[in-house]
Amino acid sequence: MKKSNSTKQLINLVTAALFAALIAVMTAYVSFKTGINDGYLHFGDSMIYIAACVLPLPYACAAAAVGGFVADMLAGAAMWAPFTAVIKALNALPFALVYTLHKTKSPQKILNKTTSFMPIVSGLVTIFGYFLVEGLLYTFPSAAVSMLASLVQATGSAVIYYIFAAALDKLDFKKRIMK
């Protein structure tokens, strides 16, 4: 039985909301304070990567933006929330574009040859996005100091993404959700 457009949109919206909640929890509550520019280290970006491999482009970016925004609010970093929303939406973009532009030979898989490189691209968005914002809000020398934490965050999120993506692919998660 083929799903109608409105049913697909509803499924995408509900899935995006679930991912936004998962991103917020993984970011705000599975985190460590860095003590640098009110920052904290988390691995919620891994859920952004998964969401962006599962959801169509606008939904993936919305889930990432909302999840990151809510996480900053929950973590006591409200001043960062608007910046985080933009940076996290941009984190989802490389993954979502791979599927939107059909640049992968394995669209039914979360982890494939193309998406295996996307955590690097997305990690660079995180590192340089926060560097720019911190530099403008504080100073660029202090922003440079916090780049190490951003690098650890991006690396940790990539590792968690690879583990979760491989596990979800073994369960044919994407094929089941796209039915």
Burial of 72 per CB tally in 10 Å (0-12, 13-18, 19+): buried
pLDDT of the residue at 110: 94
Q: Are 84 and 72 in contact (CB under 8 A)?
A: yes
CA distances 10 to 3, 15, 55, 119, Å, are 11, 8, 12, 28
- Rounded to an integer, the average pLDDT of 135-156 is 91
DSSP 103: -
Contacts of 130 by beta carbon, 8 Å cutoff, 6+ apart: 39, 83, 87, 143, 146, 147, 150
Report all structural domains of the chain as residue ranges with CATH numbers, in order of start: 5-177 (1.10.1760.20)
Alpha helices in the chain (DSSP H): 5-28, 45-54, 57-74, 81-100, 118-137, 140-170, 173-177
CB 83 within 8 A of CB 69: no
pTM for the whole structure: 0.92
CA 45 distance to own-chain centroid? 4
**Nearest alpha-carbon partner for 63 in 74, 53, 73, 76:** 53
pLDDT in tens, 108-128: 899 999 999 999 999 999 999
Q: What confidence tens digit (pLDDT) does each residue in 51-94 have? A: 999 999 999 999 999 999 999 999 898 999 999 999 999 999 99
